[in-house]
Structure 1
Amino acid sequence: MKAVILAGGKGTRLFPLSRENYPKQFLKIWNGESLFQKTIKRLIPKISFQDLIIITNQNYKFYVKNQLLDILRNLGQDISYGHLEKITNIIFEPTGRNTAPAIILAIKFALEKLNIDDDEIFCVLPSDHIIEPSYKFLEYLNKAEKIAKEGYIVTFGIQPNKPETGYGYIEKDNLLLSDGVYKVKAFHEKPDLETAKKYLESGNHYWNGGIFVFSIKTILKELEKYLPEIYKKIKNESFNEILAKFDSMPDVSIDYAIMEKTDKIAVIPVDLNWSDVGSWEAFYEIMEKDKNNNVKLGKVLDIESKNSLIFGSNRLICTLGIEDLIIVETGDALLVTKKGEGQKVRNIVKLLKRNKALRKIAEYPLTVYRPWGSYTELEKGERYKIKKIIVNPGEELSLQRHYHRSEHWVVVKGTAKVILEDTDGKLKE
């Protein structure tokens, strides 16, 4: 089995912690790990590193590579940044075009670059979901693999525990294909509250978690039927040709393009702790709470508050007697909102992007990652800028020449080898 991990998208729903160019799958706020890393570690017991295909945006390449290196080094493999590309399969989309084009690109990559045959089973899954426990997920994945070998596209239906209006739903048919596997009767868009309540009461509706398992042979047949123009591209064009013209691909989800139309779709109802962490309310639900139902992270001092999320990244947040609030601080931005308004956070991002002076806050976090490490802008004035730069051991920055500014370096930890014009030297803490 090969796994296609979808790691694109934009970071708007968990602003200000996530940014447009720093989406939630790369935030290391789950015991020092990101959702992207958790997704990979969840798969590794069944699928080897070499059988993972990661498709992401060009803007995220440093996050992807650095976090992959973290995983490998924690597994005892001393891999360099340059060697990483030789043992991993990473596709960088030049522009985001939704899930159908991303999956199609991954299939073409596998056929051409990895020389696999069309009987190969693919598991396609998002990189930004919480799924627990992992062992149970792998049991469901094994079951899905068996059904996929019979020519079905298999999806996981998440057992709902409340009338949720933020997810799409899968309705199962009564036709049982195997033990715990059903034909899909219909896909439903995000419902209103009354409809969501009916779905919950019916017992036949499940949340759509966006996980699909299929053989390449099966998905190509369905592509030929429902997206014939795209099918021709896969058959007649090379991977590099498709990639070069990727922005001309239709902006369409795999659900709409194929899953809602095919009669070869099956669903496995799964009993898992699952969340797409698609809002601050969803984040609040999955986090550990204190005796007053507060989630407190970072630098927080609270007295008599209830049912609130308080997240301090840089500064101390002091709260007194608040209730049902979401407060998130990141050093350059502060979000304060009532619980229940989380789906509207993206509207703040839209407003920021319209403001030339504030656009950068919507797009980039304070800390920016590069192959050699990271830098954080600490302060900026009319004629100066102060940065904190972290260079990983053994890594190096490119040589640069500046004609219109001076740079002053202070090493606060470690030893740096410095090249200045024709001389080499060392700076120490």
Structure 2
Amino acid sequence: MGSKQEPPSWVGVSEDTTANWGPWPNRVEQAFPYFMLGLGVLIHLFSSEQPAAHQRVTLALAGAALCWVALTDTLPRRFRPAGRLLPLLSLTGVLVLAAVLMAREVPYLLFMIVGFFHALRLRPLWAMWAGLAVTSVLINSVAGGGPEETLWNSPELFLPVVVVQTLAIGGGSLMADKLLEQSAKRREALERLEAAMTENAGLHRQLLAQAREAGVLDERQRLSREIHDTLAQGFTGIITQLEAARSDPVEQERHLATATALARENLAEARRAVHALRPEALDTAQLPEALRGVAGRWADRARVPIEVTTTGTVRPLHPEVEATLLRITQEALTNVDKHAAAGRAGLTLSYMEDQVTLDVRDDGRGFDPGSPRPDGYGLSGMRHRAERLAGTLVVESEPGGGTAISVNLPAITAAEDR
């Protein structure tokens, strides 16, 4: 990165701010000395009663002032020379020539006003204040005989006028510069804000596209889980019952009736999964009763006794919470039937103040939770369901020691969802 360069010191009042005023104010400022000098000449010619020789000398001095302004102010603006000496030199010449002209003809007080504008360009600030003070002293005393005589005759008027005039012009200029600087900063901030809003609009469009893609993926995953939890499990149960009917003629009718009921239940659940509806068991009963129904039907099929317990104050939960607990129960019991070879099982639903917990346990063969298990959508599917609702799923098991699955979800009530 290169070093920061200081702006050239030779600039006009309208250019010496953070916010550039533009070309027209600069041109007006450059023309101002000529206008004031020309106005002074016109008034002098129409009002002077001095001899012709006196007027010729005065006009010659006015011509010298014209040349001085052109050489030390107008031309340097085009080249912008570095340094602070030339602006001070230009102001000094203007004040001297204006003082001489004003002493000869009072209308040249108008040209003396140019000194204020030259003084505002001086830097550092103490030089500006000094230039304004000197200009104010001269403009208020030359016509009265000079600074000393004016101070002697009316100090109570002369001094306050000089102080107030200096402070007013200098303070007003600095305040205007500050306001312009703040305006420029606000304009830059607005430009940055517009650019940020444009960028945010693009990001918003990008996020919407990503959200749509994520929604499609999430819907595919939902359907995949629902098919696994309903169709796959149902078909497994149907096949098991049909095989049992073929190998056990005595219980054939019971097995065929169970297979038929499973098929109908499976078809209804498949339709509901496609339409993202709640499980049918939750439409006609509260969650504890629905879990008892699921556990009872599973116990009849698996021929494994199961104890169902509910603790805490039962209350309606968010439909997604209840559906998740029901699906996890179905998957956990299916795993018990397929893998555990259990003699008995237990299910506990616990309602707490801000959480709801589901525990499914069995006394089966167990397994090592740390070892990789090719269980498809088994444990990983249950864990994904829990985590999707900011919950947790913990599996405790050991070979020969049974298995316990604990699911913990936020107890979001149905009322909180509205």
> TM-score normalised by the shorter chain: which range applies?
under 0.3
Return the structure number with greater relative CO, CA threshold 8 A, min gap 6. Answer: 1
Greater Rg over alpha carbons, structure: 2
For normalisation by structure 2, the TM-score amounts to 0.23
Structure with bigger strand share is 1
